Amino acid sequence: MRSRPPAIDGLTASTLQLPPGAWPTVLDCLCERFPAVARSQWLARMARGRVIDNAGNRLTPETPYRVGLEVHYYREVADEPLIPFDEVILHADADLLVADKPHFLPVAPAGAHVHETLLGRLIRRTGNHALAPLHRIDRDTAGLVLFSTNPDTRARYQALFPERRIEKGYEAIAPALPDVGFPCVHSSRMVAGAPFFRMQESDGPANSETRIDVVARGEVHWRYALTPLTGRKHQLRVHMAAMGAPIVNDAIYPSLLHRATGDYSAPLQLLAKRLSFIDPLSGIERSFTSQLLLQG
């Protein structure tokens, strides 16, 4: 079996299989393939051994281009800001780790977030470079994330999600819906919207479904229990907005709101509260609950 490139400072390598082309060197290909990364940055990464092949050999500016070569590289972001909130490890054993993720922290590297991710922090804390998230929640959402700590048993736990053998429970703070009978189920057809990172409801057969109930009623806002019966991107946020009760501090639904980088004053009031499932290895029921609380 081909070994994975080692993690560096908790950051796993990205991989590019070189496509057909006429570039003289690997460096030339990378510069054209990723125009947002300056040639000087690729040179600096190569000098520090952060561009390698499958055997772990360093690639240099003179390495000749070859179609199909797998290039592993470590992403970097200049002046990446620290996210001033801490994760908590709720459980860890030979196969699983359960973390309580704070708002604003991405689960895995994406965009401008490379080192400041839940995955990177946990690898640095535990020293386990085989750690891998079994599912994702939005950067804006706080709460439970389940990780595999053992590649040998990873597939057994990953299967829980597509086979819907894991129950996920969320809580949200949103405007009151006094005219709706609860509990209820909201179902709709969700499709890609605009801009590219948004989703929207559309005509056609439903492909998303959420069970919604009320936990507590305030004068203006209610606390809702949300159980996603399907797993569409941004499903809970889209469904609540469609019902006329967008989740408090949602900067994407029902409309886009601009917030400055580093503005942590208005966390989305959505929490991945519970995870429960029958352990595929032991057959024992397992249940985890977030220790975080929403503001409301």
What domain range is 52 assigned to? Answer: 14-73
Q: With respect to residue 93, please indicate whether it lies within any of the assigned structural domains.
A: yes
Mark the ranges of the chain whose per-residue pLDDT is less than 70.
1-3, 78, 111-112
The predicted model scores a pTM of: 0.84
The whole-number pLDDT of residue 113 equals 73
Q: Are 117 and 215 within one domain?
A: yes
In tens, the pLDDT along 25-41 reads 999 999 999 998 899 99
The whole-number pLDDT of residue 2 equals 52
Q: What CATH number does residue 236 fall under? A: 3.30.2350.10
Domain count for the chain = 2
* CA nearest neighbour of 105 among 126, 124, 120: 120
The whole-number pLDDT of residue 60 equals 97
Q: Are 121 and 187 within one domain?
A: yes
**Calpha distance 116→21 (Å, rounded):** 35
The whole-number pLDDT of residue 81 equals 83
Please measure the distance between the N-terminal and C-terminal CA atoms of the chain and give it in whole angstroms. 50
Rg, the chain, Cα only = 22
Specify the 3-state DSSP secondary structure of 48: coil
Q: Are 120 and 26 within one domain?
A: no
**Calpha distance 49→163 (Å, rounded):** 40
Q: Are 172 and 56 within one domain?
A: no
Q: Are 141 and 229 within one domain?
A: yes
Q: With respect to residue 294, please indicate whether it lies within any of the assigned structural domains.
A: no
The whole-number pLDDT of residue 114 equals 75
Q: Are 219 and 278 within one domain?
A: yes
H/E stretch holding 32: helix 26-33
The whole-number pLDDT of residue 1 equals 42
